[in-house]
Amino acid sequence: MHLLILGGTGPCGLLLIQEALEAGHTVVVLVRSPQKLPDSMRSDPSITIVEGQLTDRDTVGKALQGVDAVLSALGPPVKKGIFYPSDTPLAHAYSVVIEVMKTHGVKRLIALGTASIKDDHDKHSIVFAALVSGVAIFAHNAYKDVVAIGELIRGQGVDLDSTIVRVPVLTNDAEKTVVAGYIGDGKVKPKLSRAGFASFSLQQLTSDEWAGKAPLISSP
Domains in the chain, CATH or no CATH each? 2-218 (3.40.50.720)
- Return d(Cα 137, Cα 171) in angstroms, integer: 22
* Confidence band of 47 (pLDDT split at 50, 70, 90): very high
* Confidence band of 78 (pLDDT split at 50, 70, 90): confident
At residue 47, what are phi and psi to the nearest 5 degrees?
-115, 125
Assess whether pLDDT exceeds 90 at residue 179.
Answer: yes
Global confidence as pTM: 0.96
State which amino acid sits at residue 205: L
What is the pLDDT, as a whole number, of residue 170? Answer: 97
What is the pLDDT, as a whole number, of residue 80? Answer: 84
What is the pLDDT, as a whole number, of residue 188? Answer: 98
User: CA torsion angle for 7, 172, 130, 74 (degrees, to 10)?
Assistant: 0
Cβ neighbourhood burial of 191 (10 Å; 0-12, 13-18, 19+): middle
- Return d(Cα 93, Cα 95) in angstroms, integer: 5
Q: How much is the average pLDDT of 6-10?
A: 97
- Return d(Cα 60, Cα 97) in angstroms, integer: 7
Which residues face 165 on adjacent strands? 112
Which residues face 72 on adjacent strands? 6, 111
Which residues face 157 on adjacent strands? none
* Greater model confidence, 130 or 81: 130
What are the pLDDT digits (tens) for 128-152? 999 999 999 999 999 999 999 999 9
Q: How much is the average pLDDT of 117-122?
A: 98
What is the pLDDT, as a whole number, of residue 65? Answer: 97
Per-residue buried b or exposed e for 4-32, using 16+ beta carbons within 10 Å of the residue's own CB: bbbbbbbebbbbbbbbbbeeebbbbbbbe
Give the chain's mean pLDDT: 97
